[in-house]
Structure 1
Amino acid sequence: MTLSSNDSPAGPRAGASPSPVDKGLRSGSVGLLGVVALGLSSTAPACSIAVTLGLVTMTVGHLAPAALLIGFVPILLTAFAFRELNRDMPDCGTTFVWNTRAFGPWTGWLVGSWVPTMATLFSMTALAQVGATYLLSVLGLDGLADSDAAVTVTALLLLAGATVLARRGLQIATGIQYALLGLQLVALFGLGLAAFTRPGAATPSLSWLNPFAFDGAGPFAEAVLLCLFIYWGWDALITVNEESSDADRVPGRAVLISTFVLLVTYLFTSFAAVGYAGTGTTGIGLGNPDNATDFLAALAPPLLGNALAALVQLAVCVSALSAMLTSLVGSGRGLLSMTTHGALPKMFARIHPRFRTPAVGTVFFGAATAVTLVVLKLASPRFLGDAILCIGLLIACYYGATAFACVWHFRHRLRDSVRDLLLKGVLPALGGLMMLAALARSVYDTIAPDYGSTSFLGIGGVFLLGIGAVALGVPVVLLVRAHFPRFFRQGKASVAPPTTTEFARNES
C-alpha cells in the first residue's frame, strides 16, 4: 500500500489513526454489546471454568479465587496494549498487523499469526470434543458419549455446522451468541446463588484472595498459568473491528468490559464452589481428582437437582460451541487481512457476494481444525490432552509479544502525556514482562516427562507440542517468504500507513 495524497505530511493531523484498507466486509454491522458478546463467548466461560477450577483448586486449595485474581492482572495489562494498538491501527489482522508494524514481517508472520493460529487450532479441537461429549450426554446417549469414535464424528458435525454459521455472516453469529452467552451466565450465576444459600456452606473469606498465602512459587505459577487459559480468547472480538461501529473505539472498550465481566463471573463462581464443596479430595470436594476436569458435573445435581443439572450440562455444551463459532469468525478475518497485505494467496481474500464474509478463509480454517482433530485422535487420545495443555505456552508467547509491540510502536509518543506513558508504555510493558515470566515458567514445567500424558526421549509431550508448534512455523515462514518476497521487503511499512509524526521523523 502506498501513500496517497491524503497521507502526505500536510494531510492527516499528527498521531491520527490510519484507516484500514477496505477489505469488503460489512462495516457498522455490530455495536458495542454485540462485540462484548463475541468476546465473552470466545472465552467459553462455562466450559473454561468447568474444566479448570478443579485443577486450580488441586494446586492451591482455597486460594483458587486469589489465583483467578492474580491471573487476571497480566490479562488486563495486555488488554490495554490491544486497546491502544487497535485505536492506532484498526485492522482485522490484529496481532499480525501490530507485530509486523512494530518488529517487522518475520515477527508479524511467526508470532503475530502462526502462534495464535496454532493455539486456536488446538483449542478448537478441544472445544469440538467437549461440545460433542456434553451434547451426547444431554441427549441421554451416555454410551455414545463414552465412545471415542462417536464423539469424534459428532465433533466433526458440530464443527461443520459452526463453519456454515460463521460463513453466513457476523450478524447471524452475533445474534446466536446472545442466546448462548445468556444461557451460560444464567447457569453459572444460578449455580453460584444456590451454593451461597445452601445451609452448611462455608462463609466466603477475603483470605481466599490473599496473594501472599501461596505455598511456594511453584504452585503459584502453575495456578496462574491455568488461569491464563481461563481468560484467553477475549482478543477474538478485535478481529471484527472493521465491522463494528466506531471501529477505533468500540473494540477497545469491549476488550475492557469483557475482561472485567469474566473476572466477576469467575470470582463469584469460585467463591461459591469453594464455600459449598470445599477443597477436600473426596466426594464433591474440588480437590477430588475425579472432579478436576468438570467440577460442575459433581456440584450441579446435589445443588439443583437432576433437571436443572441437565441445564448446566447444556450450558457447558453451548459454551464450547459458541467459542468455536467465534474462533471461526476471527480466524477467517485474520487470513483475509494477511492476504490483503500480500502475505497469503489471493484466494483467502475472496468475500462472499451476499454475506460479505471471508468465506474461503472461514471454510479453510474449519477444515484445518477438522484435520487437526482427526490427526491428534489417531496419534493418541492422550496426545490431544497434551495439545490442550500446551495452549498456555502459546498464549503467553503472542500476548507478551503484542504487549511489547505496543511499547515499541508508541515509544516516541510516551512523553506526550501521563496517559500515554501509562497506557501505551508502563502498563503494557509490565504485562509483557509478566507474560514473558509465564512463558519461561511454562517451558520449565512442561519439559518434565511427567507433565501431561505423554513423553518422548525423557521430554514432556506438552513441551514438544508447544515448542514444536512454534518451531514448525519457521520453515512455514521460509516457504511463505519464497512466494511472497514483496511482503517481507515492504511489510513493515505497508500494513499501516505512517502517521504524520512517523513520516516527519523518517524524513529527517
Structure 2
Amino acid sequence: MSSAVTDESPAPTKGLSSGSLGLWGNTVIGLASTAPAYSLAATLGYVVLAVGEKSPAMFLIAFVPMLLTAIAYRELNSVMPDCGTTFTWGSKALGPWVGWMGGWGVAVSGIIVLANVAEVAAVYFLRAFGLDQVAESRIAVLLLGVGFIAAMTWVSYRGIIVSERLQNVLVVFQFIVLGGLSILALWKVYAGTAGPQAVLPEWSWFSPVGLTSSAIAAAVILCLFIYWGWDACLAVNEETKDLARTPGRAAVLATVILLVTYCLVAVAVQAYAGFGTTGIGLNNEANIDDVVTVLGGPMLGPVMAFVLLLVIAVSATASTQTTILPTARGTLAMAVYKAVPGQFARVHPVFKTPSFSTIVMGVTAGVFYIVLKLLSEDALFDSIASLGLAVAFYYAVTAFACVAYFWRSIFRSTRNFFLRGLFPVLGGAGMVWAFGISARDMLDPEYGYTSFGGVGGVFVIGVGMLALGVPLMVACAARLSLRPFFRGESLNRETPVLVPDFEPPRGGL
C-alpha cells in the first residue's frame, strides 16, 4: 500500500505528513482555532447582555458538554485516528447518511467562521494602526479580509510544520496579553484604584440560579461559539506523534485551558468595568461589541489599547488559518472513502497537505465572505450568530457516534460505562438541547439583524446552511462512482483505518 498520495495518483493512505506534531503543537492548533482573544472580545458583551453578571457561570455550563464531547472525541480517536473525525466516526457508527451530514456540518462551520474572522482580522488591523476611516470602508475591509484568507490558505497549503510554527507565536502572544490584562485589572480592583465603576467579584457570578432556560440557552450557544475549534487538534491526528492518544489528550487539555482563561477574563472584565450604563460599564450598549478593547484604553492607556487591538487581529488571523486545517482534512477523508469526488483526495507530493481541498476551502470561504459582505453586512453578522447551530449539530453526531460504536463494550467496565457511554450521551444531549432551544428562539424576526419572510435571519442562515447539505448529499449519492459509500461498502464498521503505522486495538469493541 502506498504511503504517499500525489496530485496525479490518489491513494487510500491519504499521504499526510505523519509524526510531525507533538502534544504541545497539537494543543496549540486547537487553541488557535478557537481564537480566544477575538471570541472573548466579540462575545462576552452579548453573554453579559443575556445573563448579567453570571457570564462566568455560562462558561462553566457550556464547558460541561464541551468536555464530555471532547471525551467522546478522545475515545473514538483512540481506535480510529482518522482525519475525517465526525464524518468517519459517524459513518462507521450511525451509517453513511448521518456521517456525510456530520462532515457537512464541519464544513459549514468552517466556511461561516472563515468569512467572519477574516472580516475581524481586517478591521482590527486597520484600527490598531489608526486607520479608522479606512476600517469604515466596505471595499477596503473586503479586500484586506480576502487577502487574509488567501494568505492563510497559502500557509495551510505549505505544510503542517509551517502552520504549527506560526501558531506557536500567535497563540502565546494572545494568552500573555489576556492573562496580563486580567491580572492587572483584578489587582487594580482589589487595590481600590480601578475607579468608581468597579465592583468586587462575587461567588454568585459562578451560579446560574435565578436565570430562565431561554437566557441560559442563549448564553450557552454563544459560549459554544467561543469554545468551538478545539476539535481542530483531532483533525490533524494523522500528522501527530502517538496519533491514537496525543490528539485526544490535546483536545481535553485545550478545553481546560480555555475554561480557565475565559473565566479569568470574564471575572476581571466584569469587576473592573462594572455594570453601569455609561462609560466602560458593561450595560452601556456602545460597548457590547467589544468589551475587551473598550476596557484596555482607560486602564492602560493608548499603547496597551494598540496591543489589544493587535492581539484580537492576530487571534482572528490565527483562527483563519487553523480553521482551514480541519475542514480540508475532513473533505480529504470524505474523498478517500468515496463520499465526495476524488479530486478532494489529492495531497501535495512535497508539502504533504490536502492540496485540492485546502484551495477549495479557501476559495469557498472567500466567495461566501464576498457575497455576504457586498449584499448585506447585517447578514454577515447574523451568520456568525448562527454558527452555534452547526457546531452543536456535528458535536452531537460525534457524541452519539461514540455511544453507538462502543455499544457492545459499554458495560464491560466502569471506565467504559462512563467514558464511552454516560459522558458522551450527556454531552450529545446537551448539544441537542442547546440546538433546539436556540433554533426556537432564532425563529423570532427580532433575533439578530435580519429577517426573511417573518423568520429570523440567524435561523434562516444557520438551518439553511445545514439543510443545503441534503441536496448536495443526494447529488453525490446519484454519482455512480460514489454509490459504494452510500451503500455502506467503502466505509463501514469493519473498514480498516487508512492510516500508516497504526495498529488497531485488539479485542472486541
Q: TM-score, normalised by structure 2?
A: 0.92
Report 1:204-243 matches (<5 A): 204-214=201-211, 216-243=212-239
Given that residues 65 and 209 in structure 1 are in contact (C-alpha distance below 8 angstroms), is that contact kept between their aligned partners in structure 2?
Answer: yes
Aligned pair 1:116/2:113, yes or no?
A: no
Given that residues 415 and 421 in structure 1 are in contact (C-alpha distance below 8 angstroms), is that contact kept between their aligned partners in structure 2?
Answer: yes
Aligned pair 1:152/2:153, yes or no?
A: no
Deviation of the 1:227 alpha carbon: 0.8
- Counterpart in the other structure of 1:492: 492
Deviation of the 1:235 alpha carbon: 0.5
Given that residues 97 and 495 in structure 1 are in contact (C-alpha distance below 8 angstroms), is that contact kept between their aligned partners in structure 2?
Answer: no
Deviation of the 1:496 alpha carbon: 3.9
Per-residue CA distance 1:115-137 (angstroms, 9 max, x = gap) = 12111111110000000001111
Instruction: Name the CA distance, whole Å, in 2 between partners of 1:243 and 1:78.
Output: 22
Q: Which amino acid aligns with 1:400?
A: A
Per-residue CA distance 1:394-440 (angstroms, 9 max, x = gap) = 11111112111111111101112100000000011011111111111
Deviation of the 1:495 alpha carbon: 4.9
Q: Structure 2 stretches of 5 or more lacking a match?
A: 2-10, 498-503
- Counterpart in the other structure of 1:6: none
Instruction: Name the CA distance, whole Å, in 1 between partners of 2:461 and 2:492.
Output: 30
Instruction: Name the CA distance, whole Å, in 1 between partners of 2:124 and 2:466.
Output: 31
Deviation of the 1:226 alpha carbon: 1.0
- Counterpart in the other structure of 2:8: none
Instruction: Name the CA distance, whole Å, in 1 between partners of 2:350 and 2:494.
Output: 29
Aligned pair 1:464/2:483, yes or no?
A: no
Instruction: Name the CA distance, whole Å, in 2 between partners of 1:353 and 1:472.
Output: 33
Q: Which amino acid aligns with 2:258?
A: L
Aligned pair 1:480/2:476, yes or no?
A: yes
Instruction: Name the CA distance, whole Å, in 2 between partners of 1:464 and 1:29.
Output: 41
- Counterpart in the other structure of 1:291: 287
Aligned pair 1:405/2:396, yes or no?
A: no
Aligned pair 1:312/2:303, yes or no?
A: no
Q: Structure 1 stretches of 5 or more lacking a match?
A: 2-19, 504-508
Instruction: Name the CA distance, whole Å, in 2 between partners of 1:156 and 1:481.
Output: 33
The verdict on how the C-alpha distance between 1:139 and 1:495 changes in structure 2, with shifts beyond 3 A counting, is farther
Deviation of the 1:476 alpha carbon: 0.4
Aligned pair 1:202/2:199, yes or no?
A: yes
Given that residues 35 and 318 in structure 2 are in contact (C-alpha distance below 8 angstroms), is that contact kept between their aligned partners in structure 1?
Answer: yes
Given that residues 103 and 492 in structure 1 are in contact (C-alpha distance below 8 angstroms), is that contact kept between their aligned partners in structure 2?
Answer: no
- Counterpart in the other structure of 1:38: 29
Instruction: Name the CA distance, whole Å, in 1 between partners of 2:146 and 2:430.
Output: 37
2:231 is paired with a residue whose SS is helix
2:283 is paired with a residue whose SS is coil
Given that residues 96 and 485 in structure 2 are in contact (C-alpha distance below 8 angstroms), is that contact kept between their aligned partners in structure 1?
Answer: yes
Given that residues 57 and 279 in structure 1 are in contact (C-alpha distance below 8 angstroms), is that contact kept between their aligned partners in structure 2?
Answer: no
Aligned residue among 188, 191, 216 for 2:178: 188
Instruction: Name the CA distance, whole Å, in 2 between partners of 1:31 and 1:301.
Output: 38
- Counterpart in the other structure of 2:64: 73
Deviation of the 1:292 alpha carbon: 1.0
- Counterpart in the other structure of 2:159: 169
Instruction: Name the CA distance, whole Å, in 2 between partners of 1:163 and 1:213.
Output: 46
Deviation of the 1:286 alpha carbon: 1.4
Given that residues 129 and 306 in structure 2 are in contact (C-alpha distance below 8 angstroms), is that contact kept between their aligned partners in structure 1?
Answer: no
Given that residues 187 and 312 in structure 1 are in contact (C-alpha distance below 8 angstroms), is that contact kept between their aligned partners in structure 2?
Answer: yes
Count of aligned pairs: 483
Aligned pair 1:263/2:254, yes or no?
A: no
The verdict on how the C-alpha distance between 1:495 and 1:470 changes in structure 2, with shifts beyond 3 A counting, is farther
- Greater mean deviation of Cα atoms: 121-130 or 373-382: 373-382
Q: Which amino acid aligns with 1:140?
A: G
- Counterpart in the other structure of 1:15: none
Cα RMSD of the aligned pairs, angstroms, is 1.6
Instruction: Name the CA distance, whole Å, in 2 between partners of 1:495 and 1:435.
Output: 28
Instruction: Name the CA distance, whole Å, in 1 between partners of 2:349 and 2:323.
Output: 22
Given that residues 409 and 508 in structure 2 are in contact (C-alpha distance below 8 angstroms), is that contact kept between their aligned partners in structure 1?
Answer: no
- Counterpart in the other structure of 1:353: 349
Deviation of the 1:191 alpha carbon: 1.0
The verdict on how the C-alpha distance between 1:495 and 1:451 changes in structure 2, with shifts beyond 3 A counting, is farther
- Counterpart in the other structure of 2:5: none
- Counterpart in the other structure of 1:139: 129
- Counterpart in the other structure of 2:327: 331
Given that residues 97 and 486 in structure 2 are in contact (C-alpha distance below 8 angstroms), is that contact kept between their aligned partners in structure 1?
Answer: yes
Deviation of the 1:21 alpha carbon: 5.4
2:243 is paired with a residue whose SS is coil
Q: TM-score, normalised by structure 1?
A: 0.93
Instruction: Name the CA distance, whole Å, in 2 between partners of 1:310 and 1:93.
Output: 40
Deviation of the 1:22 alpha carbon: 2.2
Per-residue CA distance 1:76-113 (angstroms, 9 max, x = gap) = 11111111011111000000001001111111111x11
- Counterpart in the other structure of 1:82: 73
- Counterpart in the other structure of 1:47: 38
Given that residues 105 and 390 in structure 2 are in contact (C-alpha distance below 8 angstroms), is that contact kept between their aligned partners in structure 1?
Answer: yes
- Greater mean deviation of Cα atoms: 138-147 or 76-85: 138-147
